[in-house]
Amino acid sequence: MNSTFQRNRALPSLVIALLFAVLAGCGSSKLEPIPKNGTILAFGDSLTVGVGTTEANSYPSVLAELTGLTVINSGVSGETTDNGLIRLREVLDNTNPDLLILLEGGNDILRNRNMSETKANLAAMIELAQSRDIPVVLIGVPQKALFSNSAPLYGELADECQLVFDDSLIAELQRSPSMKSDHVHFNEEGYRKMASDIFELLEDNGALQ
């Protein structure tokens, strides 16, 4: 009788302890700090290239300024995810980055590609990086709808692969005419905003010391 009473009294304390453990886990950093001499690989299409502004104002160049790290601009205008998947292996071999920022799929969406195939290509890119212990930060691309955030496949991939992920950055910029150079690409102000938001995402998730 006494032992049962003691066990029942202990239960609330155990529940509280477990709750604190869960909350601590939710607040923990998702990325390891990038070394001071580390390298970030910005991989993607024309939004990574910086079409609409100068190379110096592309988001990878501005991110390099903000972080003090080497940020490699590996963007190819017009690239679709099937071609990006073919290209990524060699780029990883040549750069061996500490972190991959993946921003691809916009051209698939513009060309009405099969979204299941796009998701499979992105998943293979993520797996390729993770197999080399390279963490991936995923930037979502919106559907062709005025008020949408990123296409559902990006959130699905982020959940399935446990990625640091931004759902709304690109969509919000594309809804801001003052940030754009044409209907798809950004201007200097837009790319600088993009770099600033990615900087904050990396900082909030522990990648920047």
Write down the mean pLDDT value for the chain: 89
**Residue 41: which pLDDT band, with cuts at 50, 70 and 90?**
very high
39-44/70-75 β-pairing: parallel
For residues 90-97, average pLDDT: 98
**So what's the pLDDT on residue 120?**
98
CB 36 within 8 A of CB 67: no
**Residue 80: which pLDDT band, with cuts at 50, 70 and 90?**
very high
For residues 61-85, average pLDDT: 98
Q: What is the pLDDT of residues 127-177, one digit of tens each?
A: 999 999 999 999 999 998 766 799 999 999 999 999 999 999 999 999 999
Tell whether the model's pLDDT for residue 24 goes beyond 80.
Answer: no
Tell whether the model's pLDDT for residue 180 goes beyond 90.
Answer: yes
**Residue 91: which pLDDT band, with cuts at 50, 70 and 90?**
very high
**More confident site: 10 or 183:** 183
Q: How many CB atoms lie within 10 A of CB 131?
A: 9
Of all residues in the chain, the percent with pLDDT exceeding 90 is 82
Residue 50, strand partner residues = none
Which residue spans within 58-113 are E strands per DSSP? 70-75, 99-103
Residue 162, strand partner residues = none
**So what's the pLDDT on residue 119?**
98
In angstroms, the first-to-last Cα distance of the chain is: 54
**So what's the pLDDT on residue 148?**
79
Which domains can be identified in the chain, with CATH numbers? Answer: 33-204 (3.40.50.1110)
Q: How far apart are CA 108 and CA 80, in angstroms?
A: 6
Tell whether the model's pLDDT for residue 12 goes beyond 50.
Answer: no
For residues 120-130, average pLDDT: 98
**So what's the pLDDT on residue 146?**
62
Q: How far apart are CA 41 and CA 44, in angstroms?
A: 10
Task: Collect all residues with Cβ–Cβ distance below 8 Å to 130 and sequence separation of at least 6.
Answer: 136, 161
Tell whether the model's pLDDT for residue 108 goes beyond 80.
Answer: yes
